[in-house]
Amino acid sequence: MFEQYLLLLLETKRLAKEARSRGRRCHYTEDLKLQCVEFYEWVKDNGGTVEDAAELLTVNRRTLEGWIELTTPACECGSFCPCCGKENVA
């Protein structure tokens, strides 16, 4: 697990550095976004915050929060929640 997270940190740092050198935004694959959210969950489980995870990942905090929101089920009820009317986008 730690090796996977270290590789993720190196990859996100490389992408950020490359984007900065070109004066462009980073473009993350869906798989990389999911890995970042999984890393955030691990950081949170170990007493960290979303700010901590974002800093380690070299990702904007609000960007990471958006990925977390997109991968979090709206409700435990399933793909569409009849009780709250929210749609599960995960």
Question: What global pTM score does this model have?
Answer: 0.77
Task: Tell me, rounded to whole angstroms, the distance of Cα 6 from its chain centroid.
Answer: 15
Determine contact, residues 75/85, Cβ cutoff 8 Å.
no
Assign 1 a pLDDT band (cuts: 50, 70, 90).
Answer: confident
Assign 71 a pLDDT band (cuts: 50, 70, 90).
Answer: confident
Position of tokens 């959210």? Answer: 37
Assigned token pair, 73: 């089920």
Report the C-alpha gap between 12 and 32 in whole angstroms: 8
